[in-house]
Structure formats: C-alpha cells, structure tokens
Amino acid sequence: MGSREEKIKILFLCTGNACRSQMAEGWARHLKSDVIEAYSAGVWPVGVSSRAVQVMAEAGVDISGHTSKHVHTFLGLDFDFVITLCDHAKKECPVFGGNAKLIHKPFNDPISATGTSEEVLNAFRTTRDEIRAFIETLPESIITQTEAT
C-alpha cells in the first residue's frame, strides 16, 4: 500500500440488520472500498431482506451473500466510526472501546412500507438512493462532523 493510510473501519448499525445497514455496507464496499472497510450489524438481527437484495441488484450492487449479524459479534473490533441508521439502534448501541466515534444518521425503514408490491419496492429504492448519497460523502463528511464537536 505504500504511504497510503489504513482504511477507515466503519460499522453500520440498525435494528434488524435486514435492510438499511446492509445497503450501507453494500454501498460502502461498492463505492469506497479503497478507503473504507465496511461492516454491518443489528441490535436484533432478523435476516437480510429479499427486497433489499433486489433493489441493490437493480443498482448494480450484489448483497445476496450478506448475512444478518448481531452487533455483539463486533464488540472486539476497533472501529473508527459506528454509524447508527435508526433511533432504536442509537438507543441500544453498546459502547465500543478504542477510538470509535458514534455518528447518528437515521433513514426511514422501508421494511414498514405498505401498499402495492411496486409501492413497497419504491420505498426500498428511495432508502437505497438516500443511503447511496450519504455513502458518497464518506469518509470526509463524518470526519468533518466529528472534528466540529
């Protein structure tokens, strides 16, 4: 790697590790793998949503091999940032040792969307696109945010 710094380790955390955190991990690996080492977990993992897999595939990102993981799986890792993607995960987030900085960036949960199949998929697509826009700002936006505090 030469003079290049180590990748920034980020854990994306939501309630079920079914959708939002899986999308964030997928986008980070797809768009920022040169600078970010991405992980995802949930405080109550429930399995990866097939709709999340579907809408990410539509955008060219394969998360079909992802599994839903409990946040406690990662308590021994030294993260640079833990990003909570919903209020529940923020409230339930365990304390990470080391220098991990906690960032809260909530997104709507498309799992709770109702309506026709297409309306529900559109809710997933909206969340997917919002998360992509956030991931595109990384790591600069969170480094700047934590330096300001």
- Each residue of 46-62: pLDDT tens digit? 999 999 999 999 999 99
93 tagged catalytic: yes
Give the residue with greater pLDDT, 122 vs 146: 122
Indicate whether 148 belongs to any domain. Answer: no
19 tagged catalytic: no
pLDDT computed for residue 147 by the predictor: 66
Number of domains forming the structure of the chain: 1
Nearby residues of 22 by Cβ (< 8 Å), 6 or more positions away: 40, 48, 49, 52, 56, 63, 66, 68
Q: Which of 93, 100, 102, 121 is catalytic?
A: 93
Q: Which of 43, 86, 89, 111 is catalytic?
A: 86
Q: Which of 11, 14, 38, 111 is catalytic?
A: 14
**Which helix (DSSP H) or strand (DSSP E) does residue 79 occupy?**
none
Indicate whether 81 belongs to any domain. Answer: yes
Indicate whether 19 belongs to any domain. Answer: yes
